[in-house]
């Protein structure tokens, strides 16, 4: 019987196509150029700058006396709401509680003294004339926070 040839067997095989070789440009010889001289610049005169002393401003993130007065009055109000007879505030402890690591003791002491009303007493009174010390301790009586009570300490 004759064998039937399929398409695959009868296909003509093509010769593999060779890739054309890359053409490279001939190498150029390096030519040394003479360095170009720059024109000389005229010397610049330096003027002496007079430095003025800079005033150190208090950082904006430090609390003011009014901020501390608000904090103290809030504490007094809370003590009154809980029917406490008095609270004692120490300047160093208040400073540590509100702004730890800052040297703002003058504002704290001024606020403590400003919030004193008649009947409030010093538990620890600093010997300094301006009463600025981290040891300043005041006992605030909270049973009567009336607006009619007189200020104890005015500046």
Residue 33 is assigned to a structural domain of this protein: no
HEC secondary structure over 84-96 = CCEEEEEHHHHHH
Residue 3 is assigned to a structural domain of this protein: no
> Residue 54: is its pLDDT beyond 60?
no
Q: Which domain holds residue 120?
A: 65-141
Burial class for 120, CB neighbours closer than 10 Å (0-12, 13-18, 19+): buried
- The pTM of the whole model exceeds 0.85: no
Residue 21 is assigned to a structural domain of this protein: no
pLDDT (tens digit per residue) in 9-24: 555 555 556 666 666 6
Residue 71 is assigned to a structural domain of this protein: yes
Residue 151 is assigned to a structural domain of this protein: no
Number of domains present in the structure of the chain: 1
CA distance 111 to 134: 13
Residue 39 is assigned to a structural domain of this protein: no
With bands split at pLDDT 50, 70 and 90, how would you rate the model's confidence at 86?
A: very high
Residue 81 is assigned to a structural domain of this protein: yes
pLDDT (tens digit per residue) in 92-151: 999 999 988 888 999 999 999 999 988 899 999 888 888 888 899 999 999 888 877 777
Residue 86 is assigned to a structural domain of this protein: yes
């Amino acid at each position: 019987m004759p064998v039937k040839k399929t398409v695959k067997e009868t296909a003509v095989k093509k010769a593999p196509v060779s890739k054309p070789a890359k053409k490279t440009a001939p190498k150029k010889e390096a030519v040394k150029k003479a360095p170009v001289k720059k024109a000389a610049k005229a010397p610049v005169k330096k003027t002496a700058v007079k430095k003025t002393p800079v005033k150190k401003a208090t950082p904006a993130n430090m609390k003011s006396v009014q901020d501390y007065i608000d904090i103290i009055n809030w504490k007094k109000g809370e003590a009154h709401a809980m029917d406490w007879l008095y609270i004692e505030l120490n300047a160093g402890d208040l400073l540590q509680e509100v702004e730890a690591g800052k040297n703002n003791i003058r504002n704290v002491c001024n606020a403590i003294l400003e919030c004193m009303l008649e009947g409030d007493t010093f538990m620890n009174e600093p010997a300094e004339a301006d009463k600025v010390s981290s040891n300043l301790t005041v006992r605030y009586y909270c049973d009567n926070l009336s607006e009619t009570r007189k200020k104890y300490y005015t500046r």
